[in-house]
Amino acid sequence: MNKKMIITISSLAIIVGLFLAGNVGLKFFFHDYLYETPNLKGLTIEEARVLVGSNFKLVDMGEHYSELKKDEIYSQLPVSQKHIKKGRPIKVWISKGMDTVILPDLKGKNMQDARVILSDLGIKLGMVSHTMEGYMNNKVIGTDPSEGTLISRGSSVSLLINVSQIKNVRMPDILGFSLEEGEKILREKKLVIGDITKIFRNDFPEDTIIDISYPAGKDVLAGSVINITVTTQSEGE
């Protein structure tokens, strides 16, 4: 074997040795090879634990409403197909099912009672229409959608109110009043508070009314929904 061949073989041996040593070193440095995170959406927490085995640790981050069925995982971090080290935690969020309620029968309720019922269910008060049919004055005679409908929380329901006469009232000036005072004034004027938006302002007391959907002094239909904006001193809102 000539000297040139010996040098060539030695060089190849060194390269192979470095490659193998490098892989061992990398594996030692990273503790193990990277694993691809599986897609856990749609699985129960028990099914997910079986799937990941000892490769990952599942961390239950709690239950929330989602479009997936109750007790199914609807979100995860890291997301699927992301490569992470063995034994790393995967955070999962469990579905409480669809955030829906059955719309109750509001017929015969007055405007204020209907609004409270909808608010307690997490449903917004939508358009309010008036008619002069029937015998019930200032009562709900119909809703859209109709009672018994499965409806998502946060959506709106429109009401049809029967009145003995269509009447306009003057929009009162409630700017600067507290939310409680403003609601009382509106109720006396046969007006109803709709959406309440909160904005962080530390230069006003908590729950001070700083904006309204109708300007003060304008004629509005009795029973109209008035959206208002109030202050909060919580920066998160």
Domain boundaries, the chain: 3-95, 100-232
Closest CA to 98 of 72, 135, 60, 132: 72
The CATH number of 100-232 is: 3.30.10.20
- The CATH number of the domain covering residues in 3-95: 3.30.10.20
pTM of the shown model: 0.46
Residue 197, H or E segment: strand 192-200
Q: 3-class SS at 183? A: helix
Helical (H) or strand (E) element with 66: none
CA-closest candidate to residue 222, choices 140, 141, 129: 129
pLDDT for residue 181: 93
**Order of all β-strands in the sheet with 225-232:** 192-200, 225-232, 209-212
Domains 3-95 and 100-232 share a fold: yes
- State the Cα–Cα distance between residues 38 and 80, nearest whole angstrom: 5
Written as tens digits, the pLDDT of the chain (237 aa) is 555 555 555 555 555 455 544 554 444 444 456 788 889 999 999 999 999 888 888 999 888 888 788 899 999 888 888 888 888 899 999 998 877 888 999 998 988 889 889 988 888 888 888 777 666 677 888 899 999 998 888 788 998 888 766 678 899 999 999 999 998 998 888 787 878 889 998 888 999 999 998 888 888 887 778 889 999 987 655
Closest CA to 175 of 142, 204, 150: 204
